Amino acid sequence: MLGAFRSALTTPDLRRKILFTLGMVVLYRLGATIPSPGVSYPNVQKCFEQMQGGSQSVFSLLNLFSGGALLQLSVLSLGIMPYITASIIIQLLQVVIPRFEQLKKEGQSGQATLTQYTRYLTIALAVLQATGIVALAVRGQLFQGCTMEVIPDSSILNLVTIVVVMTAGASLLMWMGELITERGIGNGMSLLIFTSIAARIPSQGGNILNTKGGLVFTVVCVFGLAIIASVVFIEQAQRRIPVQYAKRMIGRRMYGGTSTYLPLKVNQAGVIPVIFGSSLLYLPQLLGQLAGNQNTWWARFIQTYIVSPSSWVHILLYMAMIIFFAYFYVSITFNPEERADEMKKFGGFIPGIRPGRPTAEYLSFVLSRITLPGALYLGIIAVLPNFFLGLTGGQGGGQQFPFGGTAVLIMVNVGLDTVKQVESQLTQRNYEGFLR
């Protein structure tokens, strides 16, 4: 491993990409600490400190993706969540709208058009999200239990300025992510999420060490390493379906006759079901806060049973939603009929299965079988932090348990993808001498 790391740094082109990626990450973390104009930064810090051990926040998932910048109302407080939401929406619309499905099949030109639509939708969602956050901050509902004014000047001009700055920050992050993808290493958006989550781990670990002592801190670290190892194992797990390609004579040459396999991952949906489930669980509380009515029996029921991480209703509902969205997302991203038609077009077949419709039915059967353990795995990892609230002293949905839930899923996936890209580029450079 150390040899591969040394090889990556000694290769000029690869070293330049790595340094460029690190430079963009540093700029992102610096921008996440700059407060927006018109925001009282000292009051925000006091309210944020009061919330560290306080009640569950409706913006806990968004705050996780922004590295804690959301609840500090910084310039980059929105993070890249608007871009993630826009990408998911565009991907779902490809199944519903024929025009989007046609653009997907057009190749690079169609993908460029879909990317442009994603950018426009990102800005629209950023404006909507920034407006909602500023409105909650002015009403004093962004920080539960804090009476200090985080935005002293509530004039229309000042509020519009804050919304514009936050939207510009989200657009800047979208541009930085695309630059990292183009000129750096790995997927830019994923690396920015990885950086945001990793930035919170030292503070969460320090809180556990200071409040619970060294023994609990050691237990959490050991258990966290076990969770990471198990997540890596399952994320790499796949069902390999053998595929045989028949020999074809084209001109005077013989093509085909090779054996390969079609890999189907156990966790085919990735972290998307967890994001969907978390967002929908907190949506009723968010609508209630925007409506400003928190004293009704319905609002108290949502806060006590639906949003509270220690409630069994919350845990079971969260698990059920993750399983549902896992099947839903896999069904729209993997089309067995298209895969079967592609295999038939190029002369491929599964041994013992007839090409065409029987192949599609077999792929659908295998996919439904392996999706269930993948969905259960996602649900267990997502709700795991809820069982450690008493151990770590957290009350914010496992926010003081740094090795569980959405955080570890994203970090492991992004880390594996980035390492694979570095290894592929190293392999390509090592084989250059044989190709010349």
Q: Where are the domains of the chain?
A: 1-184, 203-436
Report whether pLDDT(270) > 70: yes
Token pair 């919304």 is found at 163
Cα separation, 129 vs 124, in Å, equals 9
Reply yes or no on whether the pLDDT at 396 is more than 70: no
322-357: pLDDT as tens digits: 899 889 888 888 888 888 888 888 778 888 888 888
- Give the whole-angstrom CA distance, residue 158 versus residue 61: 27
Residue 388's Cα: distance from chain center in Å?
A: 22
Q: Which fold has domain 1-184?
A: Preprotein translocase SecY subunit (1.10.3370)
The pair of three-digit structure tokens given for residue 95, joined into one six-digit string: 């199944």
Strands 253-255 and 248-250: antiparallel
CATH architecture of 203-436: Orthogonal Bundle (1.10)
> For residue 405, what pLDDT is reported?
66
CB-neighbour burial class of residue 195 (10 A; exposed 0-12, middle 13-18, buried 19+):
buried
* Contact of 50 with 390, CB cutoff 8 Å: no
Kindly calculate the radius of gyration of the chain based on its CA atoms and give it in whole angstroms. Answer: 24
More confident residue, 98 or 145: 98
Closest CA to 261 of 278, 243, 273: 243
**Cα–chain-centroid distance for residue 412?**
11
What 3-state class would DSSP assign to 260?
strand
Distance CA 145, CA 103 (A): 49
Q: What does the block give as tokens for 77?
A: 């407080």
Stated pTM of the model: 0.76
- Which segment, 7-16, 56-65, 131-140, 241-250, is predicted with the most confidence on average? 131-140
Q: What pLDDT, in 10s, does the model give residues 214-243?
A: 887 888 788 878 888 888 888 888 888 888
Q: What is the pLDDT of residue 281?
A: 76
Average pLDDT, the chain: 78
What per-residue confidence (pLDDT) applies to 431?
43
Q: Is the pLDDT assigned to residue 208 strictly greater than 80?
A: no
pLDDT band for 119, please (50, 70, 90 cuts). Answer: very high
Strand ranges inside 266-387, DSSP E: 348-349
> What pLDDT, on the 0 to 100 scale, is given for residue 408?
81
Helical residues (DSSP H) of 2-107, grouped into ranges: 2-10, 12-31, 41-51, 60-65, 81-96, 98-105
pLDDT tens digits for range 86-113 = 888 888 888 788 888 888 878 788 888 9
How far apart, in whole angstroms, are the C-alpha atoms of residue 60 and residue 195?
A: 17
pLDDT > 90 fraction of the chain, expressed in percent and rounded: 8
Are 1-184 and 203-436 equal in CATH topology?
Answer: yes
Output the six-digit token pair for 410.
């994203």
